[in-house]
Amino acid sequence: MAEHVWLLPIKNLDDDARAVKLGEIALLELGEGQRKFVGDPLRMMLIALEEESRYPFAVDVNGTAVGVLTLQRGAATLAGWPDDDSVWLLRGFLIGRQHQGRGLGTLAADAAVREAAKLTAGLGTGQAGVVLSVNEGNPGGLAAYRKAGFEDRGRYDGGDAGPQRIMYRAF
Ligand SMILES: CC(C)(COP(=O)(O)OP(=O)(O)OC[C@H]1O[C@@H](n2cnc3c(N)ncnc32)[C@H](O)[C@@H]1OP(=O)(O)O)[C@@H](O)C(=O)NCCC(=O)NCCS
Q: What is the pLDDT of residues 37-64, one digit of tens each?
A: 999 999 999 999 999 999 999 999 999 9
C-alpha of residue 9 to centroid of ligand 1, in Å: 23
Domain count, the chain: 1
Relative orientation angle of helices 15-26 and 41-49, to the nearest 10 degrees: 150
- The residue whose CA is least distant from atom 29 of ligand 1 is 101
Ligand 1 atom having least distance to the Cα of 91: 48
Query: At 115, which helix (H) or strand (E)?
Result: helix 104-123
What backbone torsions phi and psi does residue 57 show, to the nearest 5 degrees? -130, 140
C-alpha of residue 106 to centroid of ligand 1, in Å: 8
Q: What is the CATH number of the domain that holds 29?
A: 3.40.630.30
CB of 105 shorter than 6 A to ligand 1: yes
Q: How many angstroms separate the first and last alpha carbons of the chain?
A: 27
Confidence check: pLDDT of 78 > 70: yes
Residue 35 lies in a domain: yes
Residue 52 lies in a domain: yes
Cα 150 from Cα 60, distance rounded (Å)? 22
Q: Across all residues in the chain, what is the average pLDDT?
A: 95
Residue 1 lies in a domain: no
CB of 156 shorter than 6 A to ligand 1: no
Residue 48 lies in a domain: yes
Residue 10 lies in a domain: yes
CB of 95 shorter than 6 A to ligand 1: yes
Cα 44 from Cα 54, distance rounded (Å)? 10
pLDDT digits (tens, 9 = 90+) for 86-136: 999 999 999 999 999 999 999 999 999 999 999 999 999 999 999 999 999
CB of 101 shorter than 6 A to ligand 1: yes
Cα 113 from Cα 107, distance rounded (Å)? 10
CB of 158 shorter than 6 A to ligand 1: no
**Residue-range definition of the domain harbouring residue 101:** 6-170
Whole-model pTM: value is 0.96
CB of 37 shorter than 6 A to ligand 1: yes
| pLDDT value of position 161 | 77
CB of 39 shorter than 6 A to ligand 1: no
What backbone torsions phi and psi does residue 91 show, to the nearest 5 degrees? -140, 170
C-alpha of residue 125 to centroid of ligand 1, in Å: 31
C-alpha of residue 102 to centroid of ligand 1, in Å: 9
| pLDDT value of position 84 | 98
| pLDDT value of position 2 | 60
